[in-house]
Amino acid sequence: MTLFEPTLQLVWLKILRNKGVAYLGSFHEGVNIISGQNASGKSTVMDFIFYVLGGENVPWKNEALLCDEVFAEVQLNGVPITLRRQVNEAGKNSIAIYWGNLESAEAAPFASWETYPYQRSGAKESFSQVLFRLMGLPELRGEGAANITMHQLLRLLYVDQRTPHDQIFRSESFDTILTRETVGNYLCGVYSSDLYDAQLSLKTIESQLGKSVSDLKNLFSILGKSGQTGNTSDFLRAESAAIQDELATAEVQLIDLRQARSLVTDSDSAKSIGASRAKLSKAQKELVKSEESLAELQLEIEDSKLFISEVDRRIDALNDSEIARSYLGSIRFQFCPCCLSPTHEEPANKQSCALCKEPVDTTVADSQLLRMKNELALQKRESSGLLESRIEKLAEHSRKLPALKNDLRQLEQEYSQLTSVWSSPVELQIEALSRRVGELNQKLEQIAQYYQLASVIEDLQNKRSELENQKSRLQDAIFNAESRDEKLKEKARLAIAENLVTLLKSDLPRQDEFISAAAVDWSFAHDRISVNGHTQFSESSMVILKQSFHMALLVASAQNGFFRIPRFILLDGIEDGGQETLRSHQLQKNIVQMSSKLEISHQIIFATSQIAPALAGSELVVGEMSTVDKKTLSIH
């Protein structure tokens, strides 16, 4: 069968108690039926499947709590991995992942497993993030997205017995309209990461733009009070150059005047010179240290960029390797590459080597390839965070450098003046010239302050222009994405509605609205389904409607590749609501018939106490039929 991504299929379910096997079930593609009498443990097995895949808030029965842990071999987009989760009432337990099938996982040491927590943190991804990535599901962003986990997705994929029949989602104590709407749209393929990213970025841009405009107004007010409103950076640079020329001339004159008088070497003068020299030396060291740090950060930034590029290259290489293996694995040799003799025998099956006819197992290589992709993704995430930190440090050092240089220049001037020679006949000239030098230095200091403000203003003006351009581009992108998502939402609703109408009309003629079903509608946000404008029917009809809706979701996902439902559902409680036996058999027949017509890989697991006679004993049944005397869980 063709495989759409994402696709999730359960292969093995194993439940342990005291290192003994309490349950072992083998599951297959398509319909899987768990059959047994009431109170024989069918729903408990369904709860274990829900739980090991990441579900939460399971009201465990006493028999289930006697078990220690549950294993599940699953195929994510056709690649096998094994999940393991401890069984207890603590809640939010972690999940351990082994990159291979159950048989290999049981023989592997504990160090070969990777454990991921329920909740994400700065240092560790959650198991939901990892499983989303392995299935090729985009990580949700935007308002309400932080709560979207495997548990929330499974609430729409698992129809349990405890939830009221008029609700779409599995019951949750703390539930919100936003969460249900986000999950429903996401699984129907309507959610687009670029739209949520653009909306989130637009909020950030608008906040930054408002701050930038406010900062500009404040700075213009400061410059206006200082009389420098019209001064640009170019004007201030020209003023500074003119003052520095005059200052250089004055300093030369001071040196000439001081050479005309006797050198004063009293102790007070020596102390002043020593103190000035110490300040000058300290300032020089700080400047050198800052410049060295700046250069070192620039090298580290370039090194981080090269490393991230190398990680991207390796990810691309892994993808190319996977594509190459898929092509090379299909080569059939007509002649032996060694002796050039014709090869006559065809391989026993597609999983055997075309040349030596020996069986070839690609699942181990696929699993390892998936593990390496996951490790490279983690390395890229950590390196990107380190790169952002270094860029921020570089900007901080760059801002401090001009001030350090200005302080050093003033200390050099002060030291030069202290070490110059004084001549008593020209004391008055030296004093006047020194005052002029002080005035010029003060002007330079003011210009430096104004220049700093002018530079900030120019930077803010440039930033404002760039933010306005970004805002315009984001608004266009949001409009286009919303239009595209609206069309996709309508297409998804039409596909689900067509399948739901087909299932309702295939029901036994017990509910008039189902027989004449023409208009069906539903709201993920309000957790309700309507047929021909009605939302309330008999209890047994509500069960048929709910089961049919979830089946319609799965069939629509198998007919349209844009759905993100992983072509997997769990259906329990088919006979609930005082369901008529013949009507339950008809529903089972409809599920099997619709599944058989699908050409896309999928999996349906349903539990029943009234299995249709035509299905009893068929290959669709998982294990033996359980009874109250021989329950599904073997607890000794």
CATH 3.40.50.2300 fits 8-187+506-608, yes or no: no
Q: Can you give the pLDDT at residue 354?
A: 63
Stretch 249-254: mean pLDDT? 81
Does this model's pTM top 0.95? My answer is no
Q: Can you give the pLDDT at residue 263?
A: 45
> How far, in Å, CA of 333 to CA of 353, rounded?
10
Decide if pLDDT at 450 tops 80: no
Helices 427-505, 193-225: inter-axial angle, 10-degree rounding:
160
> How far, in Å, CA of 152 to CA of 148, rounded?
6
Q: Can you give the pLDDT at residue 452?
A: 67
Stretch 221-235: mean pLDDT? 60
> How far, in Å, CA of 71 to CA of 27, rounded?
13
For the segment 572-589, what is each residue's pLDDT rounded down to a tens digit? 989 998 899 999 999 999
Higher pLDDT, 414 or 72: 72
CA 539, chain centre distance (Å): 41
Decide if pLDDT at 321 tops 70: yes
pLDDT grade for 568, boundaries at 50, 70 and 90:
very high
Range picked from 334-338, 398-402, 450-454, 546-550 for highest mean pLDDT: 546-550
For the segment 170-191, what is each residue's pLDDT rounded down to a tens digit? 999 888 888 898 899 999 998 7
First CA to last CA distance, the chain: 41
> How far, in Å, CA of 510 to CA of 579, rounded?
11
> How far, in Å, CA of 426 to CA of 389, rounded?
58
Q: Which residues contact 424 (CB under 8 A, 6 or more apart)?
A: 261, 262
Q: Can you give the pLDDT at residue 635?
A: 77
- Say which range, 155-169, 191-205, 312-326, 559-573, has the weakest mean pLDDT: 191-205
Stretch 67-95: mean pLDDT? 96
Q: Can you give the pLDDT at residue 145?
A: 57
Which residue has 């008999």 as its token pair? 538
What percentage of the chain has pLDDT greater than the value 70? 86
- Say which range, 143-152, 267-276, 480-489, has the weakest mean pLDDT: 267-276
Residue spans of the domains in the chain: they are 8-187+506-608
Which residue has 């093995």 as its token pair? 12
